[in-house]
Amino acid sequence: MDTKKDIDTADTKVTRRDFLYLTTGSFTAVGAGALVWPFIAQMNPDASVKAMASTEVDLSPIMPGQSITILWRGKPVFVRRRTEEEIAEAQAVKQADLPDPETDETRVQKPEWLVMVGVCTHLGCIPLGNKGEYNGWFCPCHGSHYDISGRIRKGPAPKNLEIPSYVFLDDNTIKIG
Amino acid sequence: MSDDYEPQSAVAKWIDKRLPIITLFSGHLMQFPTPKNLNYWWTFGGILTFCLITQIITGLVLAMHYIADANLAFASVEHIMRDVNYGWLLRYIHANGASMFFIAVYLHMARSLFYGSYKEPRELIWIIGVFIFLLMIATAFMGYVLPWGQMSFWGATVITNLFSAVPFFGEAITNWLWGDYSVSGALLTRFFTLHYLMPFLIFGLVILHIWALHVPGNNNPEGIDVVKGQDTVPFHPHYVVKDVLALVVFMIVFAGLVFFSPNILGHSDNYIQANPLQTPEHIVPEWYFLPFYAILRAIPDKLGGVIAMVSAIAILAFIPWLDTSKVRSSKYRPLYRQFYWLLIVDFILLGYLGSQSATGIYLILGRLATLYYFLHFILVMPLIGFIEKPKPLPKSISEPVLTKEEQLTKSGQMA
A105-141 pLDDT tens trace? 999 999 999 999 999 999 999 999 998 999 899 999 9
Regarding whether B127 and B25 lie in a shared domain, the answer is no
pLDDT beneath 70, residues of chain A: 1-11
A150 DSSP 8-state letter: S
Q: How far is CA A171 from CA A58, A175, B272, in A?
A: 10, 12, 48
- Range of B85's domain? 38-281
Mutate to test the interface with A, among B83, B88, B90, B241 (most CBs of A within 10 A): B83
Q: What percent of chain B has pLDDT over 90?
A: 89
A136-139 and A166-170 beta bridge pairing? unpaired
Element (DSSP H or E) covering residue A153: strand A152-154
Mutate to test the interface with B, among A28, A37, A39, A44 (most CBs of B within 10 A): A39
Q: Mean pLDDT, chain B, as a whole number? A: 93
Distance CA A68, CA A82 (A): 12
Regarding whether B155 and B192 lie in a shared domain, the answer is yes
Q: What distance in Å separates residue A19's CA from the closest CA in chain B?
A: 18
Regarding whether B345 and B216 lie in a shared domain, the answer is no
CATH of the domain at B313: 1.10.287.980
Contacts of A46 in chain B (CB under 8 A): 65, 79, 83-85, 87
Regarding whether B263 and B363 lie in a shared domain, the answer is no
- Among B150, B140, B149, B175, smallest CA distance to B160 is for B175
ipTM: 0.82
Tell which phi-psi region holds residue B148, choosing left (phi > 0), alpha (psi between -120 and 50) or beta.
left
For residues B353 and B294, is the Cβ–Cβ distance under 8 A?
yes
Helices and strands per DSSP (H, E), number in chain A: 5, 10
Element (DSSP H or E) covering residue A37: helix A16-41
Last residue of a domain, one of B281, B300, B316: B281
Regarding whether B390 and B270 lie in a shared domain, the answer is no
pLDDT at B415 over 90: no
Regarding whether B314 and B228 lie in a shared domain, the answer is no
Last residue of a domain, one of B266, B281, B296: B281
Regarding whether B325 and B277 lie in a shared domain, the answer is no
Q: Within 13 A of B58's CA, how many CA atoms are on the CB side?
A: 22
Q: Given B57, B83, B89, which is nearest A47 (Cβ)?
A: B83
- Among B384, B306, B391, smallest CA distance to B339 is for B384
Look at the alpha carbons of A130, A136, A139, A142 in this order and tell me if their dihedral is positive or negative: negative
Q: What does the pLDDT read at residue A8?
A: 53
Q: What percent of chain B has pLDDT over 70?
A: 96
Q: What distance in Å separates residue A84's CA from the closest CA in chain B?
A: 46
For residues B148 and B183, is the Cβ–Cβ distance under 8 A?
no
Regarding whether B309 and B175 lie in a shared domain, the answer is no
With CA atoms as reference, the chain B residue closest to A43 would be B85
CB contact under 8 A, A39 and B90: yes
Q: What is the pLDDT of residues B73-116, one digit of tens each?
A: 999 999 999 999 999 999 999 999 999 999 999 999 999 999 99
Distance CA B196, CA B68 (A): 12
Regarding whether B371 and B346 lie in a shared domain, the answer is yes
Q: What does the pLDDT read at residue B6?
A: 77
pLDDT at B329 over 80: yes
Contacts of B61 in chain A (CB under 8 A): 39, 42
CB contact under 8 A, B90 and A38: yes
Q: How far is CA B333 from CA A25, A33, B37, B116, B392, in A?
A: 45, 48, 19, 11, 10
Regarding whether B266 and B147 lie in a shared domain, the answer is yes
Number of domains making up chain B: 3
For residues B5 and B23, is the Cβ–Cβ distance under 8 A?
yes
Catalytic residue among A17, A50, A110, A142: A142
Q: Given A43, A47, A49, which is nearest B82 (Cβ)?
A: A47
Distance CA B88, CA B68 (A): 18
Q: What does the pLDDT read at residue A6?
A: 54
Q: Which residues of B touch A (CB under 8 A)?
A: 57, 61, 64-65, 79, 82-87, 89-90
Local confidence band at B306 (pLDDT 50, 70, 90 cut-offs): very high
Convert A96-141 into a string of H (helix), E (strand) and C (coil).
HHCCCCCCHHHHCCCCCEEEEECCCCCCCCCCEEEECCCCEEEECC
Q: At what angle do helices B123-145 and B185-213 cross, to 10 degrees?
A: 160
CB contact under 8 A, B84 and A42: yes
Q: What distance in Å separates residue A74's CA from the closest CA in chain B?
A: 18
Regarding whether B288 and B277 lie in a shared domain, the answer is no
Distance CA B159, CA B309 (A): 11
Q: Given A37, A42, A49, which is nearest B87 (Cβ)?
A: A42
Q: Show the DSSP H helices in B215-301 as ranges.
A: 240-260, 290-298
Q: What does the pLDDT read at residue A97?
A: 87
Mean pLDDT over B224-242 rounds to: 91
Element (DSSP H or E) covering residue B363: helix B360-375
Regarding whether B27 and B58 lie in a shared domain, the answer is no
CATH of the domain at B258: 1.20.810.10
In the three-class reduction of DSSP (H, G, I as helix; E, B as strand; rest coil), residue B319 is classed as helix
Active site residue A142: yes
Q: What is the pLDDT of residues B32-65, one digit of tens each?
A: 999 999 999 999 999 999 999 999 999 999 999 9
Distance CA A60, CA A155 (A): 34
